[in-house]
Structure formats: C-alpha cells, structure tokens
Structure 1
Amino acid sequence: MRTLQGYRYALDLTPRQERAILQHAGAARFAFNWSLARVVAVMGQRAAERSYGIPDAELTPAISWSYPAMRRAWNAAKATAAPWWPECSKEAYNTGLEALARALKNWSDSRLGKRRDRPMGFPRYKSRHRTAPSVRYTTGPIRIEPDRRHVVLPRLGRLKLHESARKLARRLEAGTARILSAAVRRNGGRWYVSVCVEVERAERAPARPRSVVGIDVGITNLAVLSTGEVVANPRHLQRSLQRLRTLGRGMSRKSGPAWAAGRPPSNRWRRARGRLAAAHARVANLRRDGLHKLTSRLARTHGTIVVEDLNVAGMLSNRRLARHIADAGFAPLRRQLTYKTEWNGGRLIVADRWYPSSKTCSGCGAVKTKLTLSERTYACEACGLRLDRDLNAARNLAALAAAAVSTAGSGPVSGRGADRKTPNLGQVAVKRQPGTAQAGKTGTVPLQGGPPSHTFEEVGETGLIRV
C-alpha cells in the first residue's frame, strides 16, 4: 500500500543558517504580496470601469489566478520587481505564489458554494511581524545524510537535526520511501523541518482482528471505550493556564510595537513573547503526543473502531465549553484514527451525527426523550439498567458495527432513533438495529418518560456485541 507520510524533526541551526532561512521566508512573503497586489489592482480597475458603465467586453482583461500563470508573470517581472532575486532559491518564490493561488481558489470556491468547509475570506498581505516564517522545497537535492543527523536542502546546505532520522533513513535505504518535498518552519521559537514522503507500507493486521470497540469522547474523560476502559483527559491547557496568564501579563508590561507610529518593540518584549510562544508550543506538543499514543494503540489492537460524527465546529460555539473542547482535541483524534486504521488493516465506522447514543439504553434499546448533560449515570426506566452514561454510549456505538455490514460504503451508519431530533410525541418508524434486547421479534419499545409510541422492526442478528 502506497501512501503519503510526513516526518517532522526539530533543527539545531547556526546563526548564519537561521539568517539564510529567514531570507528565503522573506522572499516567499515578497512574492506573495507582489502577486496579491497585482490581483487586487486588476480587480479594482475592473470594478471601477463597471461603475463607469463600460461593457464587460471592453473591461481590462482579467488575469489568471492559477499557480502556473502566477509563476510566468513573476518570472517575467522579477528582474525589475526584485533585482536581488538570485540570492534565494526559486523554491522560496514558488512557496509564496503557490500559497496565494491556493488562498484565492479557496476564497472563490467559498463564494460560489463549492467549498463545504467554513467560509474563507479574501487573502490579506503577509507581514513579517504576524506571519510564521516558512519555506517549502519540492525540487533540488533533498536528502538525509548517512550519519542520520543532518538533512540537506537546496541553497541552505547541511542542517543539523536535533534527533536522529533513523526511521526515515531506513526506509530510504530499503527503497520503500521516496522524498517528495520538505518544508522548514518556525514554531514556538524553534525551527522544524517536515519531510513529505511517499511510503510503501507493508500489509498489517491488528492484534485482535475480530475485536470491536466503540469510543465515546468527552471532556470529563477524553475517551470511554465499550470494553470499560476509561482514558482520562490530561487537560494540558487547563493545567498551564496560570503560567500562560503570568507570561501574558509580563509581556503586556513591556514596551510593545507601535508600527503605525514607527516604534519597534523593545528587546525585553521580544524575549517575553518568545517565552509565551514556547509555553503555548509545549501545550500543543503534549496534546499531540498523547493523542498519537492513544490512537496508535487503538488502531494496532482492535479490528473495528466505531466513533461518532461530532460537529466540533458547532460545539466550539458554546462559550462555556469551547476551551475545554479545544483542549481535548476531538477533531485530531478522529483524523488520526481515520488513517491509522487504514495503515494497520482495520476499519473505522462513523456513526450518524444524529444517532442518540447517549439517550439509548444499551440493554433494551429504549430511548429517553431528554437527557441533561448533568446526568452522568444512565438509568433505564424500561429495564432498570444503570451504568455510566459514557460507557452506555460507547456500547451503543460498538453495537453499530454489525449494521455497517449492510451499509458498507454508504457513509455514516444510522442507528435506531437516528432522526434529527428525539420527539416527545408521535411515532417514528425506524429500523431496530443490532444491540437490542430481544432477538428475532417485532415489538414495541417505549420512549422513556413518554407513551410506548416507537415501533421498531428487528432486522438481522441482534444482541449487544461483547468486546
């Protein structure tokens, strides 16, 4: 199986090498701003001509926003626009032009309704005071040195790695990997190089191929598995808030920048900002490390993993829980499980967003009409089952694995009661999915707290999947 994989290493740069990288990052920023100014000028000219009543056929010709067209325009004008252009690699200018072409396409697709993600605004000019310096290389000598402690990049030469690159070097020596590109970026006061590699991965199988596990993520506990395992939420941001606030107050007391007045920041303010950035980077690294360890263990152990399709962007609109949700990292956990299950020969099943996993009894299938967030213990009024709310939801998710057999390739699996809102009155005709109490029968399961109005039809083999 061939796939793309990234390797990220910290760099130990000399002052001369750091200045060279900053020069290349500045060249990328210059090319971005130059091309953006050209686009804005043409757009403004055409808008002005329309306001004068000039027909569309006689307007100033529009320019292409594609990356190849921007490269041709830059190559034609670079001798006058940037006489110093030979001092940097061509990849530096290509980095800025490619970023602008991608930003303009995202903005255009967002306006035309072709983009499903959040709306994108029009690109803004890049400033060296607000933009993280970065440069990407796609051609030229990009290799790992035989000592596995250095990486070679075009025009920058031999850069020392903070740690050994033996894992990547072994793949390259064995011929099972091919370097496609490398990007250098500064984050949290440190420089990193990210190497994008096309890897030939061997076929693997999980340690327990027949095992099915449902995962219910939350804030109190990061993940509760249907096996009964509880993964505590480390709350890295919450534990570091006091230090972050102290560092932020310290930076606010220093003489900061006032670029409109032509006043640069003081050296003490720069050092304070570096300390604050390093503290934020540490929190992000701790969160990333914990999520990678958890998802790797689950993907290597279980053959089938069932998760919920959470609307994380919508959940972040809750001002009381937004910080805790972002600190937990629901979206990275789902993203990592997606590709790691594929790497390890397992499968990932995504439950429908409207499937009431928390409201449904994992024993008899009865659905509660209302379940507040403060109710941490699920109490079924139909069969008397009492258990932890998150464990009950995880078991319901695990029970959906059998339903995925009949809906393979059709998208998220809709379980019982997966209508947009759990109703208080009336009948909702839905199929009774695996995980119900009575097998091979058609019966009526009541809504808890209301009349017995839900009629379900049993299909296939039923019963709670034990893992």
Structure 2
Amino acid sequence: MIKSIKIRLKPTKEQEILMFKSVGCARFAYNWGLARWRDMNKQGIKPSKLKISKEFTKMKKKEEYKWLYEVSAQVTAQAFEDLNVAYQNFFKGKANKPKFKTKRKSKKSFYVRYDAVYFKNSKVNMEKIGKVEYSTNYDIPDLDKYINPRCYFDGKYWYLTLGFEHGENQVKLSKDLSVGIDLGIKELAVVSCLKKPIKNINKSSKIRKLKKKLKRLQKQVSRKYEMNKQGNEFVKTKNIIKLEKQIKLVYRKLANIRLNYIHQATNKIVKLKPYRVVMEDINITGMMKNKHLSKAIQEQKLYEFIRQMKYKCEFNGIEFIQVDRFYPSSKTCSECGSVKKDLKLSDRVYKCSKCGLEIDRDKNASINLANYEELA
C-alpha cells in the first residue's frame, strides 16, 4: 500500500516568493486549460489533456507569458493532469463538473517534480525553489522517487506531502474481537466493545470558545465593510484584510483540532487490535441536504472518520466491512434478533417487546454491526 507523510517546510523569503509564484502558475494553467476544454466542446472538437498541453507550450513562448518559466514546468503540466482527472471523475459521477479556481477560495498548492525531491542535512530539494529546511517526526525513507509530492500553504505554514510504497504493519490481531461502530451527531461514535462513546469534540469548551471568537470577528468585518461602502461597491481596507486573515487562522485552528481528534479516535479503535471493523455505508451527501443537521454533520467530519478507518485497517491487516445503508442495525434487538419496525428517530432507548431488553439505541446498533455475519 501507499503511505503518505506530511512535513513542515521552513522556506526563506526568496523561496516563499517562488512558492507563491508556483501556486499562481498552477492555478493559471488549470483555469486556462478549463477554458480551452469548454471552447473545444463548443466547437465540436473532442478535448484532451494532450491537445491542451501542446497549445499551452506554444503559448508560453510568447513574450507576455515569459513569467511562466520562473517555476518548474512540471507545475503547469500537472495542472492539466489534475483537470483531466477532474473531468474523468465528473463523467463517472464521482464529482461535480470542474469549476474555475479563484485566488481567494482555492487551495494554495502545487505539484513538485517527484524525481528531483531528495533529503539531505535536514533540507529537502525542490526543483527551481532549491534546498528548503524542514521539520518532521517521521522517519523519511531514502528513495529515488516519491509518489505525488505536493507543496501547499495552509494560511500560516508551508507543508510538503509525499507518498511511498509500504508493506502492512505486522500486528497480532485478536481473533475473537469484532468491532461495530455507529456514527452519529450527538456522539461522534459508539463502539460496541467500549463502555463510553467517543464524544463530540464540537461540544467541548475549546471549540465553543473558538466559534464564539469567529462569530465576533465576522461581525467586525461585516461592520467595517458597511462603513467603507461606496455606492454599490465594498472597499477592502487594511483593517479588513487583517481581520480576514485572523478569521482564516481561526478556521485553520478549528479544522486542525477536529482532524487531530478523529486521528486520535480512529487510533484508539485500531489499537484494540480487532480482526475486523464493521460500519454502516452512510449516505452523507443525502444527510447534508437536511438544513437543520447539515452544519452539525459537516463539523463532525463523518466522511473523514470513515476514510481514516479504511486506510488504518488496511495498514494493520484488519478486515474492514461497510454494511448496506438499509441494514436495520438500530431496529434489530441485539439480544434476541427481533426487528422493531415502528422505531422512531426520537426513540433514543431501544426497548424490545419480546425479550424486554432496554439499551441505548446507538449502542444496540453498534453491537448488531459487530455481529453482522451472525444476523445476516
């Protein structure tokens, strides 16, 4: 399997300027390629990555586009590959139609030439940028080629992510332990073999304080925009720019706390060393359409939890199963197996009319998931 790692970069001012130029060139190439793709479709020509990249190479030779030569050629070449993948995913129904990347909202990232990356004396070499200092807790393997290296800026620091081939982690698994996980909104997850559920981090005081701070900053920005309004146009002052930067950093901190918490939660489950993990195939896209729950679902990062469980199970040789979303895990009694068809969403305690079992609804679902094969 491919294992990916992330290292923090510490570039000089000159290197950082080149990095931002690479980000801009990657975004320009992607948008230019998307515009040409759409034009070709209108003209009845079948668009392709090869046709667009050839046109772009000719265009680069013009005097007005000489600034594109300041960055690695692989930065713009990979942008067309990303565009091609975006369209393939769209045609397969996996993603929405590709859109133009804006300077304000798009992720500040660019591709790094894989065969030029090497590590020496606490520095990593990157084409056109040079040797950049870095810090990491990982043991980076000394390889000739790394898989899909990307550099990105998160609003505060620069990072380099790269992948490499890695075998399974040799762990002795408990052959008697099957773990069922029921994800939710009130609690992040209820695990069949754990007494206490994994709590919702969004209800903690730390997150609440940050959200309160975010709300206050957003109100300040809104007031300043109204104060500096000239006719129908909003004027962005230096104070507004400062506040918007603070808002971005708060969003960054919130995202990092949630992501770190999910890593801790999934690690806790994997360290139980079960022979398999069973979860429901949740329709997250459909759940997001509920205007009352969409924000809570988004903050829980349920998709990220499932993604991490999948790759951590694969890495440790644990069988990962996702049962059908219509499987009645909550309606089935974990003691006698009878199905309660009239169970409502508001019923938080499961009461079996046959055997008299009274148990928390989510705990009951997690036990049924753990015993999935026996009930199927």
TM-score normalised by structure 2 residue count: 0.89
Residue 19 of structure 2 corresponds to residue 21 of structure 1: yes
What's the CA shift for 1:102? 2.7
Identity of matched residues, %: 27
SS in 1 for 2:250: helix
Question: 2:29: which partner in 1?
Answer: 31
- Classify 1:13/1:374 alpha carbon distance in 2 versus 1 (closer, same or farther; 3 Å): same
CA distance in 2, matches of 1:367, 1:36: 52
- Classify 1:128/1:324 alpha carbon distance in 2 versus 1 (closer, same or farther; 3 Å): closer
Question: 1:271: which partner in 2?
Answer: 242
CA distance in 2, matches of 1:274, 1:231: 33
What amino acid is aligned across from residue 226 of structure 1 in structure 2?
A: S
- Classify 1:316/1:194 alpha carbon distance in 2 versus 1 (closer, same or farther; 3 Å): same
SS in 1 for 2:331: coil
Question: 1:412: which partner in 2?
Answer: none
The C-alpha deviation readout for 1:105-138, integer Å capped at 9, x for no partner, is 344x1xxxx32x35x23532x3323333221013
What's the CA shift for 1:139? 3.8
- Classify 1:128/1:329 alpha carbon distance in 2 versus 1 (closer, same or farther; 3 Å): closer
CA distance in 1, matches of 2:299, 2:114: 38
Question: 2:38: which partner in 1?
Answer: 40
The C-alpha deviation readout for 1:296-317, integer Å capped at 9, x for no partner, is 2322321111111111111111
CA distance in 2, matches of 1:71, 1:201: 36
CA distance in 2, matches of 1:346, 1:212: 10
CA distance in 2, matches of 1:226, 1:183: 38
- Classify 1:262/1:98 alpha carbon distance in 2 versus 1 (closer, same or farther; 3 Å): farther
CA distance in 2, matches of 1:399, 1:63: 51
Residue 233 of structure 2 corresponds to residue 241 of structure 1: no
- Classify 1:213/1:104 alpha carbon distance in 2 versus 1 (closer, same or farther; 3 Å): closer
CA distance in 1, matches of 2:168, 2:89: 35
Of the structure 1 ranges 216-225 and 181-190, higher mean CA displacement relative to structure 2 is found in 181-190
CA distance in 1, matches of 2:173, 2:85: 41
Correspondence list, 1:287-366, <5 A:
287-300=258-271, 301-366=273-338
Question: 2:60: which partner in 1?
Answer: 78
- Classify 1:211/1:239 alpha carbon distance in 2 versus 1 (closer, same or farther; 3 Å): farther
The C-alpha deviation readout for 1:122-168, integer Å capped at 9, x for no partner, is 532x3323333221013442022233xx322111112222x335422
Residue 139 of structure 2 corresponds to residue 141 of structure 1: no
CA distance in 1, matches of 2:363, 2:233: 59
Q: Is the 8 A contact 1:362 1:395 kept in 2?
A: yes
CA distance in 2, matches of 1:263, 1:325: 33
The C-alpha deviation readout for 1:261-313, integer Å capped at 9, x for no partner, is 99863222222111111111111111111111221232232111111111111
1:127 corresponds, among 97, 102, 107, to 102
SS in 2 for 1:167: coil
- Classify 1:367/1:348 alpha carbon distance in 2 versus 1 (closer, same or farther; 3 Å): same
Correspondence list, 1:191-210, <5 A:
191-195=158-162, 197-210=163-176
Question: 1:429: which partner in 2?
Answer: none
Q: Is the 8 A contact 2:40 2:47 kept in 1?
A: no
- Superposed CA RMSD in Å reads 2.7
Q: Is the 8 A contact 1:104 1:123 kept in 2?
A: no
Residue 361 of structure 2 corresponds to residue 386 of structure 1: no
- Classify 1:320/1:78 alpha carbon distance in 2 versus 1 (closer, same or farther; 3 Å): same
CA distance in 1, matches of 2:30, 2:168: 40
CA distance in 2, matches of 1:262, 1:317: 33
CA distance in 2, matches of 1:261, 1:44: 35
CA distance in 2, matches of 1:22, 1:262: 28
CA distance in 2, matches of 1:364, 1:70: 63
Question: 2:150: which partner in 1?
Answer: 183
Q: Is the 8 A contact 1:89 1:155 kept in 2?
A: yes
CA distance in 2, matches of 1:355, 1:185: 41
Q: Is the 8 A contact 2:118 2:124 kept in 1?
A: yes
For structure 2, the 5+ residue unaligned runs are: none
SS in 1 for 2:289: coil
What's the CA shift for 1:27? 1.6
CA distance in 2, matches of 1:384, 1:326: 37
- Classify 1:15/1:45 alpha carbon distance in 2 versus 1 (closer, same or farther; 3 Å): same
Question: 1:10: which partner in 2?
Answer: 8
CA distance in 2, matches of 1:200, 1:22: 32
2:47 corresponds, among 50, 60, 64, to 64
What's the CA shift for 1:13? 2.9
What amino acid is aligned across from residue 211 of structure 2 in structure 1?
A: L
CA distance in 2, matches of 1:312, 1:306: 17
What amino acid is aligned across from residue 322 of structure 2 in structure 1?
A: V
Correspondence list, 1:414-429, <5 A:
none
